[in-house]
Structure 1
Amino acid sequence: MPETEPTVAPRAPRRPTTRTHHGDAVTDDYEWLRDADDPAVVAHLEAEDAWTRARLAHLAPLRDRLFTEIKERTLETDLSVPVRLGGHWYYSRTLEGRQYAVHARVPAAPGPAAWDPPVLEPGTEPPGEQVLLDENALAADHEFFALGGTEISADERLLAYQTDTQGDERYLLRFRDLTTGADLPDEIPGTSPGVALAADGEHVFYTTVDDAWRPHRAWRHRLGTPVADDVLVLEEPDERFWMGVGLTRSRRFVQVEVASKLTSEVRLIPADEPTATPATVWPRREGVEYSVEDSRDHLLILHNDGAENFELAAVALGPRERWSVPGAFADGARVVVPHDPDVRIDAVDAFAEHAVLSYRRDATPRVAVAALDALLAPGATPGFAPGAAGRGVWREVTGGNVLETVQLDASPETDQPLVRVVVESFTTPRAVYDVVLTTGELILRKRQPVLGGYDPAQYEQRREWAIADDGTRIPISLVRRRDVREPAPLLLYGYGAYEYSLDPWFSVPRLSLLDRGVVFAVAHVRGGGELGRRWYDDGKLLAKRHTFTDFVAVARHLVDTGWTTSTRLAAEGGSAGGLLMGAVANLAPGLFAGIHAAVPFVDPLTSILDPSLPLTVTEWEEWGDPLHDPAVYAYLKGYSPYENVPPGPDGAAAYPRILATTSLHDTRVLYVEPAKWVARLRAAGAPALLRIEMSAGHGGVSGRYARWEQIAEENAWLLDVLGATERP
């Protein structure tokens, strides 16, 4: 970093390179910034970061105050609600002043009725506590640390865990003997997240990635043997597909899933026979996605074969010798929850006597419970009517408030009589409940503490709808203090990709914005999953522009209806949402006062043309294949933020203030995309800043205090843009 504060914004030298596809020759002045090993690239990135820090220096008092407000509202010494697994209750706790969590367990009372979690006091070590992992110790001497997958063996004597100390999402897999607390000599580098321990506690399954960061191989390791002797269980040659491993809840099967964006295939290995050949549940068929849960003598298969929003089928397992017969589960499926065009089924979870369904209706996530006997009874009439007395077999867990998120939480045991759910909204902190499966009774276990006298009654949330250019109604979620009057400063957030839904969530850092009079709004644009699979399909591939025009339509609705004005409107989004930010900056630059694009995917055409990069072949089913399809090439080029920055300062005068944030070791959206984008924006005269973390990954810095500092800095910039730096 320069020792003196810079006084002039850095300008990346132009080093033109030319690429030609489908007869189209494109000159790129800044592609040279891709080489992170080039000292000139590193020097430029450091200069950009120094310039941004200098431009944000006047906000230091506000940043520090925002950090203090997050800290003052957070119970720093706290612990999670314990989760029962086998003979122990497992939980995590945080301690004031420490960046990372400590993972521990205490013995559970014997007997199947002992399912009420122990009440533990924050900061007090409970009797019999055993610390399994202290992330603070593991993170010592590392600028970045992330814990990946963890798995407890069936006898609870072994812990498998993964750690990443670079931010590149390549994990070191290690094993801890929980009787001695010592790590075994076995260490497996370069694994991708996810691990499964076989029933014998000796064999472990894991995956590794190829040069494009695609998990493509599943391996079996036997503890105590050299990694070089590990057995390749499965390799996926099709570059569109990636791979994952895990145990089913019953621990009866190791599950190997191979999936692309549109097609999936599941293989099962008996956990007590780890060397067995994986058995394919349903052979892959292009465009068919499915997932599998094993339930007593059935497999529950959630699929979209002829069912756009998915339906649930049951297939008899049959005798064990049948499991390895090719095609054994291909026939005999019986629909138990039929397709409903108004209900998108997201997941099914199977327990000893019940099934739990996660789904969404009316853009709202919901959870329902059904008795397996009623669901699987021969001759039963398939039905799906959660919450309707006397209709169907499902009981909805909550009332389904339109701005309330209900999700199944950690429930690892097949025979547990309770399942855990989490309920939250924009105004109500996260609450952890246990649901009695037989009655539907909700037992509150813990509500997220918010210190400093937080009163949810002081805030309100609501749903509105904007009309897109093609007449489609776009849902908007809004939250504000009740005493705020329009027009007010407003932060509009968006994502719109991968069928990911921006369901209501509570945020402590957001309170600092709301208390300064800012309205927070979410644009539920097409490309997300809020309104089912069709909503997703309508915002991808050659319909991707809907994502961007929907966001602009929402912004205009909020201005036209008096919620805010264009001079007091800011936008924010990250990753694919960063692409959204870059696109709307080109589409409607005068509509926003400022735009924060976090780890933004703003050079998609360059990336998706290069099959060696992480965001390429596996992404073609989301964005299209511009390498082989000239129509896709032209379409992507038409909306790519980097491609469409005006070439000279005359066209950039209307750009809002832009802050791009990124990380050097991000493997999902490489730092070069925002670096090139900001270089081109600045050359065009746009007021753009680049903030780059040199020791972080796609999710930003690690450690809760470091993360709070990062959020406080970004929010200080947003408040400055909105003219809302002071409390009313």
Structure 2
Amino acid sequence: MRYTILPLLSTFALFSCQNESNEMVQEPDARKISTRLEKHGDIRIDEYYWLNQRDNQEVIDYLEAENSYREAIMKGTEPLQEKLYEEMVGRIKQDDSSVPYELDGYFYYTRFEEGQQYPLYCRRKGSMEAEEEVMLNVNELAEGHSYYQVSGISVRPDSKMIAFGVDTLSRRIYTIHFKDLETGEIIEENIPNTSGSSTWAEDNRTLFYASKDRQTLRQDRIHKHKLGTDAGLDSEVYYEADETFTTYVYKSRSKKYIVIGCGSTLSNEYRTIPADSPDEEFVVFHPRVRGLEYGIAHYKDHWYVRTNHDNATNFKLMRTPVSSTGVENWEEVIPHREDVLLENIEIFNDYLVTDERTQGLNKLRVIPWNNPSAEYFIPFEEETYTAYIGNNPQFDSKVLRYGYSSLTTPSSVLEFNLETREKTLLKEQEIVGGYDKTQYRSERVWAVAEDGVRVPISLVYRADMKQDTGNPVLLYGYGSYGYTIDPSFSSSRLSLLDRGFVFAIAHIRGGQYLGRNWYEDGKLLKKRNTFTDFNTCGQFLVDEGYATKSSLYAMGGSAGGLLMGACVNMRPDLYNGVIAAVPFVDVVTTMLDETIPLTTGEYDEWGNPNDAEYYEYMLSYSPYDQVVAQDYPAMLITTGLHDSQVQYWEPAKWIAKLRDVRTNKERPLLMHCNMDTGHSGASGRFEAFKEIAMEYAFLLDLQGISE
């Protein structure tokens, strides 16, 4: 065996984890096997490198031992976990359905049935009063599978067939299947090893899709499939040779073009063909240039280009004739603005709608084509919220569909009449059992970082339970890839708020909450800003009396798990407990291994450690490498055996090293490894709440809350 089990009496005072019989609880202790890793003359000794053998039964045994240990330690919280789970599931409208949208004479929607884990994808012809047609009942398809995920449902132009992707392992490797909507049969023909998404040409016979490199899982090829032929004979229409890029394919909203997109952190490139001529050669829209980012949308005689061309850091909108797409023909529609990030656009016959971010808040701007000076913004009233452009498939519509949510307002779908400016609420997420938003408060405050930069924090709490000082506070963060964690509603979060917790989001650098520069200042050789920003936010909440160090908790997942690891290494005294979900913590080793999914495509995010400067900088914050002999807060670490984004061995190695090095053995270090799933957790809509209930129980028990 490559690990041993050491006895540890559960002395963790607040955890109701001692067995009633006062039995000894066994703490896993991974065996050390030294592996010498050398780069740039620097030598690292990794004593847990052996845990990266997914097919080694000894590794599986160790992961299962970790699960058994966590279950034993948290056994006393099982009634609380069950209560939390029942609360969360009890708030869900089980027979819920989405707002229908019209496309090609059909109204499409998704609905759930009472007690069922998976959705039904449905449509009605002509109107919502017509007979329902169930295109896919995922509950039936998922029978016998511990994990089942459907992705990329693509309706053929004649509306008689769909293609859809299926993943049964949670590695994000999909097999495309076909269903004849006239006969109701899923035909035998299928295409393995794809991204799950596919795009029909207008001939109703040709399908384009992306396949993956089987080792790195990079989407590197676009294929063309002819219905009724062997997928093994599919022609390759594009190969992306640059390992820092991925590729994908889609159809323009106008349905006039098939588009192959290629993207890296810093650059984009597109190729197009007419959608009714699937056998033509793809033509490059504009060749890639390092640092040039752009996206394209077709409308009538022009392509509209959202781009950072010519130092437009926050992006601007250009357009170019369909016949001449070279950058020399691009003309400005919306100029670059230093204080406004242009995030998205939606084009209608009579209006242009933009999704812009100013001082962290989304704003939807309406610009009439025939009178641009008559532009206006759709009004929003809350101090902190999120709004976004929804599904608008029709160019000739006078109505914009958009989404809205806040920390106190359930997710909503609205329609806004662009002419009359009348707003209609189509659907607001129903909270079963009732929900009174007036009982909750949200606000936005600002902390000051080490370099003087002001960092925003969004907060929500139950007004009648918030204390003047010393509340239990859960601070959440991410801070990578320019991805913004917007302040949106969560029904499961009510279980924390109703027990007196304050929930806070730290809008730290590395995201784009305050514009593109906010992202640029939190990556590569400025990555440490992300971590110091988060700790600054935590210290601010303590200094301002929202929390104390004994009531402040932190949580983040994936790259946010890296955030957790770096922050507790830097300020272990600041947090009473930490949840690190699927954490990316072994930064240097992973980024040196080009066979691991995501590595090469993320050199422009983290840096390439084959360069000594980046190697040294990464090493300075890599959570696994920077574990030192000090007291650490209580931690719950989650992972999935089949995770394709962050390999399971990163958190497994991390917790093993933490246990060995830390100086406070009485604080719990727990790991939950889901042996059936990957990065996104369980596939069923109720199963995911079991893990959330476990995480909340961990926090509540640390805080001494047992009910």
Q: Is 2:512 aligned against 1:538? A: no
Displacement of 1:260:
0.3
Instruction: Please say if 1:310 is aligned against 2:315.
Output: yes
Q: Does structure 1 retain, via aligned residues, the 8 Å contact 2:445–2:456?
A: yes
2: CA distance, partners of 1:297 / 1:584 = 51
Report the AA paired with residue 39 of structure 1.
Q
Aligned to 1:385: none
Contact 2:268 2:292 in 1 (8 A): yes
Q: Which structure 1 segments of 5+ residues have no match?
A: 110-117, 119-125, 319-326, 376-391
- 2: distance between equivalents of 1:270 and 1:497? 36
Tell me how far 1:418 sits from its aligned partner: 2.1
2:647 to 663, 670, 690: 670
Q: Which structure 2 segments of 5+ residues have no match?
A: 6-18
The amino acid of 2:52's aligned partner reads R
* 1:119-158 matches, cutoff 5 A: 127-158=130-161
Larger displacement relative to structure 2 (175-184 or 528-537):
175-184
Is residue 574 of structure 1 aligned with residue 574 of structure 2?
no
- Note closer, same or farther for the CA distance 1:32–1:351 as it changes in structure 2 (3 Å cut): same
1:493 equivalent in alignment to 2:476? yes
Post-superposition offset of 1:401: 3.8
Report the alpha carbon displacement of residue 393 of structure 1 after superposing the two structures with TM.
4.9
Q: Is the 8 A contact 1:6 1:51 kept in 2?
A: no
Match of 2:69 among 51, 69, 75: 51
Deviation per residue, 1:527-553 (Å, 9 max, x gap): 011001100000000000000000110
Match in the other structure for 1:94: 112
Letter in 1 for 2:206: H
**How far is the alpha carbon of 1:723 from its aligned partner?**
2.7
Residues in 2 aligned to 1:588 and 1:634: alpha-carbon distance in whole angstroms: 21
1:330 paired with 2:342, answer: no
Paired residue secondary structure (2:517): helix
Q: Which residue of 2 aligns with 1:388?
A: none
- The match for 2:421 is 440
Deviations, residues 239-297 of structure 1 (Å, cap 9, x unaligned) = 00001111111111111100100000011111000111112111111100000000111
TM-score (norm 2): 0.94
In the alignment, residue 159 of structure 2 is paired with which amino acid? Answer: E
Distance 1:616 1:602 in 2: 13
Letter of the structure 2 residue corresponding to residue 141 of structure 1? G
Q: Is 2:181 aligned against 1:181?
A: no
From 179, 193, 196, the equivalent of 1:190 is 193
- Residue equivalent to 2:209: 206
Match of 1:563 in 2: 546
Counterpart of 2:93 (choices 68, 75, 90) is 75
Give the aligned partner of residue 287 of structure 2: 283
- Paired residue type of 1:314: R
Q: Secondary structure at the residue paired with 2:84? A: helix
Q: Does 1:362 align with 2:339?
A: no
Question: Once the 2 structures are TM-superposed, how far is the Cα of residue 468 of structure 1 from its aligned partner?
Answer: 0.5
Question: Which of these residues, 334, 337, 345, is aligned with residue 340 of structure 1?
Answer: 337
- The CA distance in 2 between the partners of 1:664 and 1:369, in whole Å, is 47
Q: Distance in 1 between matches of 2:634 and 2:265?
A: 35
- SS of 1:432's equivalent in the other structure is strand
The one-letter amino acid of 2:84's match is L
SS at match of 2:645: coil
SS in 2 for 1:25: strand
> Distance between the aligned counterparts of 2:550 and 2:522, measured in 1?
28
What RMSD, in angstroms, separates the aligned Cα atoms of the two structures?
Answer: 1.5
Q: How has the CA–CA distance of structure 1 residues 43 and 452 changed in structure 2, closer, same or farther, with 3 Å as cutoff?
A: same
**Pairing partner for 1:655 from 621, 632, 643:** 632
The answer as to whether partners of 2:175 and 2:196 remain within 8 angstroms in 1 is: no
Q: 1:253 to 1:400 in 2, by over 3 A?
A: farther
Conservation of the 8 A alpha-carbon contact between 2:511 and 2:518: yes
Instruction: Tell me, yes or no, if structure 1 residue 427 matches structure 2 residue 408.
Output: yes
Aligned counterpart for 1:267 among listed residues 244, 268, 271: 271
* Residue 591 (structure 1) aligned with residue 588 (structure 2): no
**Alpha-carbon distance, 1:181 to partner:** 1.2
Which position in structure 2 is the counterpart of 1:625? 608
Q: TM-score, normalised by structure 1?
A: 0.91
1:714 equivalent in structure 2: 695
Cα offsets for 1:390-417 (capped at 9, x unmatched): xx35332233644111111122233333
Given the alignment of the two structures, is residue 60 of structure 1 paired with residue 37 of structure 2, yes or no?
Answer: no
Deviation at 1:353, TM superposition (A): 3.1
Letter in 2 for 1:662: T
Contact 2:302–2:321 (CA<8 Å) still a contact in 1?
A: yes
Q: Say whether the 8 Å CA contact 1:175–1:184 is kept in structure 2.
A: yes
Specify the alignment match of 1:121 in structure 2: none
CA contact (8 A) 1:570 1:721 kept: no
- Give the structure 2 partner of residue 24 of structure 1: 42
Residue in 1 that maps onto 2:678: 697
2:617 — aligned with what? 635
Whether contact under 8 Å (2:244, 2:601) holds in the other structure is: yes
Asked if residue 239 in structure 1 is aligned to residue 239 in structure 2, the reply is: no
- Aligned residue pairs total 679
Q: Distance in 2 between matches of 1:282 and 1:373?
A: 29
- Report SS of the residue matched to 2:110: strand
Give the structure 2 partner of residue 524 of structure 1: 507
Q: Paired residue for 1:248, among 252, 255, 258? A: 252
What's the CA shift for 1:127? 4.6
Once the 2 structures are TM-superposed, how far is the Cα of residue 704 of structure 1 from its aligned partner? 1.2
2:59 to 32, 37, 41: 41
Give 1:350 deviation, angstroms. Answer: 2.2
